Structure 1
């Protein structure tokens, strides 16, 4: 049964995000929505939810259809609410009193600890804020669920729980989900829509298999386009020969035939459709400056604590040598970011138990991209720190995926993906030999993640990174440290942790 029927939909906001999109959403559909950053995924979800008006086309919704929409960020007024009250506010006012039990049920289903129910959202981590938004979207049991980057800020354990929760929802409830987590898309979807400015493609397959089908389809389009152009060129060559013969012989028949061949060539060229060329979001290229130190960072029984001083774990004796790509594993709240911050501080000041080589050149990026000043523009962020000149700075920004129109815009106005690419460009220009990366893929699209994977694997520079993207950490990591209880231990393989066999 079709719940949503989308016909010839298009949205133009300064530039065309997508046109002529046709899609149906029926019961049982679990649709993964894939596109590069800034290409219209959130806009399409807003159109389906009814909060954004399309530029063209129509959306027909089933009578009385109730839609649950989880955006990427809480609304400003949400932060003063407790987690439970945020969920209750999603119920109609006439039901919130008598059906308050629904909030408790959905929070229990999502395994939210009871001690968090009455904490304000402003006091909670991004992961718990997203969980509250998800619970609020589901508490009234909508007929359709729209999820915009639901895994952002969730640790691996919570991502696994989210996958299980989505699998347990009634199959009659369709889901449309955007995500840059490829393993998550493979686990929760049965259809994939690749959103494009034109000629969007849909496949009745989860992400990895759908992408292979898309690449095959695009390759076939490229071959067809080349063949069509070749036919048109052959006809024009024949027409040119006949024209010369016709002029020399004075044959009107040959002149007419020449015009017919030219007209056929024009029709073939006009009908030929070039293969899709993705408007790349720019390459991410990192460059290490190299180091001959035996150990860039050494840890000697460092005590890691919460910001208010409560002990979390001790590191034991650990080290990171040139070329090591160490992935730090652990659940939310276990202290991964705290260790990253300690090592960051130790590169410029004395921290007990942490030794950094004198040759260390640090490249640092945290999960909130706080190393970027919101008041700067991308241009000032580059030209104030690096002696590259205005013209080269603009070229580098464009190559990194920051459009020329955005280069003099305040960083605060950029999307998360655009800020992430700017942060990666700054890292590149610093030429570090040691990267400290806390959730570097949080806002990167799939193309950006794959480019970063390739660059990190190619460089000799060492890194310590935190990531909840399973495919990314498998591709990048050469060593794995896991926070287990009160200790930091090295594990040979992350498989058991990723499968949920080891406690986070």
Structure 2
């Protein structure tokens, strides 16, 4: 269906691919993985012909339609959310736009003299819309938009009024509505909440076309793909299985390659010792020559590339009191919408609370109240004695000084720290080499998140309040963060849409429901088992 035959591609001095080959067959669901900058997005752009290979060939079978979702959604305005979604359905979107214009014209009293022509034209356009399956498409577009979290009233509103994250969802809905033969999805879960991720997961499981996708959501990848295409060092390698299988198999392959290299190095060293010892002895000359020729003919095993694994070790935080935070009879409303009506919660030392709830349930509001960034309408929020709190929220990234480099940000925050320890910190959070000199204004969302987390965790708090800390983080940084937080000796309260993060770190769950809060004594895994669903309002 789609073939990459011996492709080579270079960006500046960086070689992305060198005679690399791969195939995407009908019905296959493939996860595309590789380090940042390895060329994942370039693969998508080569398939869609937005870029050309320097050498080799990218072939797409005749008649195969391709839908490509990227993080660059372009400009959206002047249409309703539904109309913008219907743009993915080809000619029907133009007919739908004219139909909407005619409906407005028919309701305009100033155009009464044109009524006969308008009615006639409306009849023709409506017939064409029905012929193209427009009404069925409209219903399907609304179903997809609902699955991605849009309320009905928002669907009919101006797409231009949406935030960047919600426009991303519209762009994704547009691609899904196309029902192409092949879907190329570049980080489709980046701007989705857990409910929308679960809906998309089910949608993609039932999708019958070919799928090639990148995702930093391990659980999402595991449940959808049955094949992994890895980009590493200019090569494309295929693994049959999901992401967990790929990780295990890659570890086995790396261990085997390491052992093979070490065996050959030991043999070569032994042969060289013999040659050096006896090269001056005439009696051994024949043997020495024989071994020299043998070494010349041996195909040398290349030293395996060793992946640098990121690890961050928390220094022991100061001990807090047993009662870390207490919420007593808290009421909170925004306008006519009540968020809490007498909320009570006690967070004790070393508890790790994850907060679950549908959109608008008040997850982030609770974190803001406890962090002191918002006040209750009535009731009391009390933080305990000796508590040293660190609060991570998405707006924290906007507080970085755009003129400062990553290095200046860290060294300014910790002027007494040794340069060596700060270099280590920067490296662990993905700022190695010249990357530490990048000014904050050009950092990506993921880089900004990593920098804020590095700054927050270096001087360890004993109470972490984290609102979606894994947004924008790649798989390697997420794993590092999970391992670091697993050894954290303090207390945690967090919101996350990443099920791997939730399951690995929580030991208490607060579920915010319309009928009132519900507490679960175990972590996220126990919550799923007891509630029968992975997110509020979802079936298991």
Give the TM-score taking structure 2 as reference length. 0.82
* Matching residue within 528, 532, 535 for 1:495: 528
User: Structure 2, unaligned stretches of length 5 or more?
Assistant: 96-128
How big is the shift at 1:470? Answer: 0.9
185, 193, 203: which one aligns with 1:155:
193
3-state SS in 2 of match to 1:316: strand
Q: CA deviation at 1:49?
A: 2.3
CA distance in 1, matches of 2:413, 2:182: 48
- The residue aligned with 1:106 is 141
> 1: distance between equivalents of 2:340 and 2:45?
43
Task: Give the structure 1 partner of residue 119 of structure 2.
Answer: none
CA distance in 2, matches of 1:468, 1:179: 13
In structure 2, do the counterparts of structure 1 residues 215 and 436 end up closer, same or farther at CA, with 3 Å as the change threshold? same
- Equivalent in the alignment of 1:240: 276
Residue 146 of structure 1 aligns with which residue?
184
Partner of 1:449: 478
Q: Name whichever of 62-71 and 158-167 sits farther off.
A: 62-71
Aligned residue in 2 for 1:137: 175
Q: Normalization by structure 1: what TM-score?
A: 0.88
Q: Distance in 1 between matches of 2:374 and 2:463?
A: 11
Q: Does 1:223 align with 2:259?
A: yes
Deviation at 1:254, TM superposition (A): 4.7
The CA deviation at 1:328 is 0.6
Residues 283 and 401, structure 1, Cα contact 8 Å, conserved in 2: no
Structure 2 residue 117 is matched with structure 1 residue 90: no
Counterpart mapping for 1:10-159 below 5 A: 10-12=9-11, 15-75=14-74, 77-78=75-76, 81-92=79-90, 96-97=94-95, 98=129, 99=132, 100-101=134-135, 102-111=137-146, 112-121=150-159, 123-124=161-162, 128-159=166-197
Could you tell me how far apart the structure 1 residues matched to 2:266 and 2:365 are? 61
| Alpha-carbon contact 1:326-1:464 (below 8 Å) kept | yes
2:240 aligned residue (178, 181, 204):
204
Go from structure 1 to structure 2 and tell me whether the alpha carbon gap of 1:126 and 1:482 turns closer, same or farther (over 3 Å shift).
Answer: farther
Choose from 342, 353, 370 the match for 2:398: 370
SS at match of 2:178: coil
Specify the structure having the higher radius of gyration (Cα).
Answer: 2
CA positional deviation for 1:178: 0.8
TM superposition shift of 1:263: 2.2
Query: In structure 2, do the counterparts of structure 1 residues 120 and 279 end up closer, same or farther at CA, with 3 Å as the change threshold?
Result: farther
Give, in whole Å, the separation in 1 of the partners of 2:37 and 2:331: 41
CA drift at 1:103: 4.5
Relative to structure 1, the CA distance from residue 427 to residue 188 in structure 2 (aligned partners, 3 Å threshold; closer, same or farther) is same
Deviations 1:171-214 (A, max 9, x none): 2x101111121111111111112221244431121111222122
Output the CA distance in 2 between the equivalents of 1:260 and 1:302.
83
Q: Does the Cα contact within 8 Å between 2:67 and 2:183 map onto a contact in 1? A: yes
Q: How does 1:388-403 map to 2 (within 5 A)?
A: 388=417, 393-403=422-432
Provide the secondary structure at the position in 2 that maps to 1:154: coil
Q: Cα distance 1:347–1:298, how it changes in 2: closer, same or farther (>3 A)?
A: farther
* Counterpart for residue 319 of structure 1: 346
1:411 lines up with 2:444 in the alignment: no
Q: Deviations over 1:407-431 (max 9, x none)?
A: 2222232233322221221112232
Contact 2:7 2:53 in 1 (8 A): no
Structure 2 Cα separation of the partners of residues 230 and 495 of structure 1: 52
Kept after mapping to 1: 8 A contact 2:169/2:191? no
Aligned CA distance change for structure 1 residues 19 and 403 (closer, same or farther; 3 Å): farther
Cα gap change, 1:224/1:498 in structure 2, threshold over 3 Å: closer, same or farther?
farther
Q: Counterpart of 2:229?
A: 193
Over 3 Å counting, the alpha-carbon distance change for 1:472 and 1:17 in structure 2 is farther
Out of 424, 434, 439, the position equivalent to 2:463 is 434
- Equivalence for 1:289: 317
Deviation by residue 1:8-55 (Cα, 9 ceiling, x = unmatched)? 344435534444431101101100112233433223222222223445
SS at match of 2:245: helix
Contact preservation (8 Å) 1:284, 1:421:
no
8 Å CA contact retained: 2:194, 2:535: no
| Structure 1: tracts of 5 or more residues without a match | none
What's the secondary structure of 2:31's corresponding residue? strand
Structure with greater helix percent? 2
**Structure 1 residues 431-482: Cα deviation after superposition (integer angstroms, max 9, x where no partner):** 2111111111122222221211111111111111111111111110011111
Partner of 1:167: 205
**SS state at 2:327 partner:** strand
Indicate whether 1:483 and 2:503 are aligned.
no
